[in-house]
Structure 1
Amino acid sequence: MKRTTNQLSILGILAILFTIIFSCAEKSEAQKSAISTKNLNRPNIILFVADDHGLDAIGAYGNPVIKTPNLDKLAAEGARFTNAYCTSASCAASRSVILTGKYGHATGSYGHVHDYHHFSTYDTVKSLPKILEKSGYETARIGKYHLAPESVYHFQKVLEANPRSTYEMAEKCQGVLTSEKPFFLYFCTDDPHRANSTDPSRWDAPNSFGNRPEGYPGVETVTYDPKDVLVPDFLPDSKESREEIAQYYQSISRIDQGFGKLMQLLKDSGKADNTIVIYISDNGMAFPGAKTTLYEPGMKLPCIVKDPFVKKKGYVVDAMITWADLTPTIIDMAKIDPKPYKLHGKSFKNVLNEDNPKDWNEVYASHTFHEITMYYPMRVVRSGNYKLIRNIEWRAEYPFASDLWAASTWQEVYRNDKEYFGKRKVKNYLFRPEFELYDLLKDPDELKNLAYNPDYKQKLDELIVKMKTFQKETRDPWLITWDHDSSLQGTGVNL
Structure 2
Amino acid sequence: MRNFLLLILVITACTPKASNEELTDSARPNILFIMADDHAQKAISAYGGGLIETPNIDRLAQEGALFENSFVTNSICAPSRAVMLTGKFSHINGKRDNLDVFDASQPMFPKLLQREGYETALIGKWHLKSTPQGFDDWKILIDQGDYYTPEFVTNTDTFQQEGYVTDIITDYVLDFLKGRKKQKPFCLFYHHKAPHRNWMPDLEDLKMFAEEDLPVPPTFFDDYEGREAAATAEMRIADMFLSMDMKLHPENYEVENGKGGNDRFDAESAWKGSYNRMTDAQKAAWDAHYDTINAAFANANLSGKELALWKYQRYMKDYLRCIKSVDDNVGRVLDYLDESGLAENTLVVYTSDQGFYLGEHGWYDKRFMYEQSFRTPLLMRLPGTVSPGLRVQELVQNIDYAPTFLDFARVDIPNDYQGLSLKSLLTQQPVDWREALYYHYYEYPDGWHKVKRHYGVRTDRYKLIHFYHDIDTWELYDLQKDPDELNNLYGIDAYAEVQHRLHQKLKELRTQYGDS
Settle same-fold status: TM greater than 0.5.
yes
Selected match of 2:83 from 77, 87, 97: 97
From the superposition, tell whether residues 356 and 228 of structure 1 become closer, same or farther in structure 2 (CA, over 3 Å).
farther
Code of the residue aligned with 2:169 in structure 1: it is: M
CA–CA distance in 2 between the matches of 1:42 and 1:158?
A: 22
Code of the residue aligned with 2:86 in structure 1: it is: T
Code of the residue aligned with 1:440 in structure 2: it is: L
Partner of 2:168: 168
Residue 363 in structure 1 maps to residue 437 in structure 2: yes
CA–CA distance in 2 between the matches of 1:452 and 1:253?
A: 44
Code of the residue aligned with 1:125 in structure 2: it is: Q
Instruction: Say if 2:173 and 2:190, in contact at 8 Å, map to a contact too.
Output: no
CA–CA distance in 1 between the matches of 2:44 and 2:71?
A: 16
Alpha-carbon deviation of 1:231?
3.0
Partner of 1:324: 399
Partner of 2:209: 224
* TM-score scaled by length of structure 1: 0.72
Larger radius of gyration: 1
SS in structure 1 at match of 2:465: strand
Percent sequence identity over aligned pairs? 32
Partner of 2:201: 211
Code of the residue aligned with 2:495 in structure 1: it is: Y
CA–CA distance in 1 between the matches of 2:320 and 2:439?
A: 27
Partner of 1:445: 484
Alpha-carbon deviation of 1:358?
5.3
From the superposition, tell whether residues 155 and 314 of structure 1 become closer, same or farther in structure 2 (CA, over 3 Å).
same
Residue 135 in structure 1 maps to residue 116 in structure 2: yes
Q: How many pairs are equivalent?
A: 386
Alpha-carbon deviation of 1:39?
0.9
From the superposition, tell whether residues 107 and 337 of structure 1 become closer, same or farther in structure 2 (CA, over 3 Å).
same
Partner of 1:293: 368
From the superposition, tell whether residues 363 and 260 of structure 1 become closer, same or farther in structure 2 (CA, over 3 Å).
same
SS in structure 2 at match of 1:390: strand
Code of the residue aligned with 1:167 in structure 2: it is: D
CA–CA distance in 1 between the matches of 2:355 and 2:444?
A: 13
Structure 2 unmatched runs, 5+: 1-15, 142-148, 151-163, 222-307
Which whole-Å deviations, capped at 9, do the CAs of 1:187-225 have from their partners, x for residues lacking one? 111111112xxxxxxxxxxxxx0225x44xxxx656114
Partner of 1:62: 48
Which runs of structure 2 are paired with 1:327-338 in the superposition (5 Å)?
Answer: 327-338=402-413
SS in structure 2 at match of 1:447: coil
Partner of 1:377: 453
Partner of 2:71: 85
Alpha-carbon deviation of 1:349?
0.9
CA–CA distance in 1 between the matches of 2:31 and 2:433?
A: 26
SS in structure 2 at match of 1:452: coil
SS in structure 2 at match of 1:171: helix
Code of the residue aligned with 1:210 in structure 2: it is: M
Alpha-carbon deviation of 1:311?
5.1
CA–CA distance in 1 between the matches of 2:42 and 2:218?
A: 11
Residue 308 in structure 1 maps to residue 294 in structure 2: no
Instruction: Say if 1:438 and 1:448, in contact at 8 Å, map to a contact too.
Output: yes
Selected match of 1:348 from 411, 422, 430: 422
Partner of 1:146: 127
Partner of 2:158: none
From the superposition, tell whether residues 84 and 229 of structure 1 become closer, same or farther in structure 2 (CA, over 3 Å).
same
Instruction: Say if 1:235 and 1:289, in contact at 8 Å, map to a contact too.
Output: no
Alpha-carbon deviation of 1:76?
0.9
Instruction: Say if 2:64 and 2:386, in contact at 8 Å, map to a contact too.
Output: no
Residue 280 in structure 1 maps to residue 351 in structure 2: yes
CA–CA distance in 2 between the matches of 1:371 and 1:70?
A: 40
Partner of 1:204: none
Code of the residue aligned with 1:69 in structure 2: it is: P
Partner of 1:155: 135
CA–CA distance in 2 between the matches of 1:90 and 1:371?
A: 15
Which runs of structure 2 are paired with 1:190-269 in the superposition (5 Å)?
Answer: 190-195=193-198, 209-211=199-201, 214-215=203-204, 223-225=208-210, 227-236=212-221, 238-269=309-340
From the superposition, tell whether residues 130 and 460 of structure 1 become closer, same or farther in structure 2 (CA, over 3 Å).
same
Alpha-carbon deviation of 1:185?
0.8
CA–CA distance in 2 between the matches of 1:49 and 1:160?
A: 14
Farther off after superposition, 293-302 or 356-365: 356-365
CA–CA distance in 2 between the matches of 1:35 and 1:148?
A: 35
Residue 183 in structure 1 maps to residue 180 in structure 2: no
Alpha-carbon deviation of 1:123?
5.8
Selected match of 1:33 from 10, 14, 19: 19
From the superposition, tell whether residues 56 and 271 of structure 1 become closer, same or farther in structure 2 (CA, over 3 Å).
same
Instruction: Say if 2:418 and 2:513, in contact at 8 Å, map to a contact too.
Output: yes
- What's the C-alpha RMSD, in Å, of the aligned pairs? 2.5
CA–CA distance in 2 between the matches of 1:265 and 1:102?
A: 33
Code of the residue aligned with 1:343 in structure 2: it is: Y
CA–CA distance in 2 between the matches of 1:310 and 1:64?
A: 30
Instruction: Say if 1:79 and 1:306, in contact at 8 Å, map to a contact too.
Output: yes
CA–CA distance in 2 between the matches of 1:367 and 1:357?
A: 29
From the superposition, tell whether residues 292 and 65 of structure 1 become closer, same or farther in structure 2 (CA, over 3 Å).
closer
Code of the residue aligned with 1:291 in structure 2: it is: K
Residue 455 in structure 1 maps to residue 494 in structure 2: yes
Code of the residue aligned with 1:389 in structure 2: it is: I
From the superposition, tell whether residues 289 and 390 of structure 1 become closer, same or farther in structure 2 (CA, over 3 Å).
farther
Instruction: Say if 2:70 and 2:377, in contact at 8 Å, map to a contact too.
Output: yes
From the superposition, tell whether residues 225 and 434 of structure 1 become closer, same or farther in structure 2 (CA, over 3 Å).
same
Code of the residue aligned with 1:235 in structure 2: it is: F
From the superposition, tell whether residues 232 and 140 of structure 1 become closer, same or farther in structure 2 (CA, over 3 Å).
farther
* TM-score scaled by length of structure 2: 0.70
Residue 475 in structure 1 maps to residue 456 in structure 2: no
From the superposition, tell whether residues 129 and 248 of structure 1 become closer, same or farther in structure 2 (CA, over 3 Å).
same
SS in structure 2 at match of 1:99: helix
Code of the residue aligned with 2:65 in structure 1: it is: A
CA–CA distance in 2 between the matches of 1:67 and 1:123?
A: 37
Alpha-carbon deviation of 1:352?
1.3
